Amino acid sequence: MTITADQRAELDQIRSATFTTRRATVPALEEILFEPLPVLDHGFVRVIDYMGDDSAVVQAARVSYGRGTKKVSEDEGLIRYLMRHWHSTPFEMCEIKYHVKLPIFVARQWIRHRTANVNEYSARYSILDREFYLPAPEHLAAQSSSNRQGRAGVLEGEEASRVMDLLREDAERCWRDYAWMLNEEIDGAEPVDPSRQGLARELARMNLTLNTYTQWYWKTDLLNLMNFLRLRADSHAQYEIRAYADVMVDAMERWVPLTSRAFRDYRMNAATISAPGLAVLRRMLAGEAVAQPDSGLSPREWRELMAVLGRPA
């Protein structure tokens, strides 16, 4: 991630400003407010604003005038109860707003979570930067033969080198063609040709590769943030979006530490067992030797249950 001297000066000026408020503030989150947290090669996540804290969840649950109880342990107990029993609305009382810089293909995956307010950088109005995501060698993986959405082993040798060359060359060539079609003053582009009018920005952008970086503001409530992170910070999620989710998990832990602990215990690091799976578990606990053919589970369900139980399939 590259921050210019002018951008750093602007960030320092924003971060140096302080305000007096009666609203709840969280010192740990204030420490990183506005600061770009690097993700991938050119991306970042910035917390721009937030509303509420752990006590706001408690206050909403009790519909009280105060900021929760006098004992943090009581607040945490209530938050864990809410999380454990899937009481969701108190978590909607907290909101957070991020500024995210991310590759377009990650953005298109991210936008499937239709539970946020989003405003994206407009390539109809502005010109996209000459920045592209190129995977680190350890993330240049082959297609999985058993999972259409998954990766297998890492590419190596000539094939890996050729793939990296293609990704870089195609992105650079498409951006140069994009800049030529615009015929505008852009760093790294050919000089403007006064004899040409230039293609409209909204049309020229269609030539860019999906690893080109875009930016957006993404605002959501705590409940929907957790729904997003439960899926995207999971080990099965695509690496590139998981890299963003991991940074957001860290920010969430600064913001609402009590909720974050409950979230890890009852969502991220927990498992859901189906009714047939629970029946199998009860039979096992009763001392019965259960095998897949007589379990009532499909082979895939059986493997998944055994993985949850830490037993060989």
Q: Which tens digit of pLDDT belongs to each residue from 34-52?
A: 999 999 999 999 999 999 9
Pick the CATH number of 1-132+213-270 from 3.30.70.580, 3.40.30.10, 3.40.1160.10, 3.30.1360.170: 3.30.1360.170
Q: Is 18 annotated as a binding residue?
A: no
- Is 114 among the annotated ligand-binding positions? yes
Share of the chain above pLDDT 70, in %: 95
What is residue 132's DSSP assignment?
B
Would the annotation count 236 as a binding residue?
no
Of 20-24, 78-82, 266-270, which gets the smallest average pLDDT? 20-24
Would residue 232 show up in a list of annotated catalytic residues for this protein?
yes
Q: Is the confidence at residue 274, as pLDDT, over 60?
A: yes
Smallest Cα–Cα separation from 171: which of 239, 243, 111, 105? 105
Answer whether 256's CB lies under 8 Å from 222's CB. Answer: yes
Inter-CA distances, 285 with 128, 189, 279, 280, 295, Å: 59, 69, 10, 9, 14
Return the closest-CA partner of residue 208 out of 140, 121, 123.
123
CA distance 130 to 30: 32
User: Rounded CA gap, 203 and 182, in Å?
Assistant: 9
**Higher per-residue pLDDT: 126 or 142:** 126
Mean pLDDT of 298-311: 94
For residue 68, pLDDT beyond 90 = no
Known binding residue 113? Answer is yes
- The CA-atom distances, in angstroms, between 163 and each of 122, 133, 152 are 30, 13, 16
For residue 13, give every residue at least 6 positions away whose Cβ sits within 8 Å of its Cβ, in sequence order, or none.
none
Domain extent listing, the chain: 1-132+213-270, 134-210, 275-309
Where are the alpha helices (H) located in the chain, listed in sequence order?
Answer: 5-16, 27-30, 54-62, 72-84, 104-110, 157-182, 201-204, 222-232, 239-255, 257-263, 275-285, 299-309
Task: List the catalytic residue out of 80, 232, 261, 264.
Answer: 232
Q: Is 151 annotated as a binding residue?
A: no
d(CA 99, CA 76): 29
Q: Residues for the chain: how many in total?
A: 313
Q: Confirm or deny that 124 is annotated as ligand binding.
A: yes
**What digits encode the pLDDT tens for the residues 6-26?**
888 888 888 888 888 988 899
Measure the CA–CA gap between 1 and 23, rounded to whole angstroms.
33
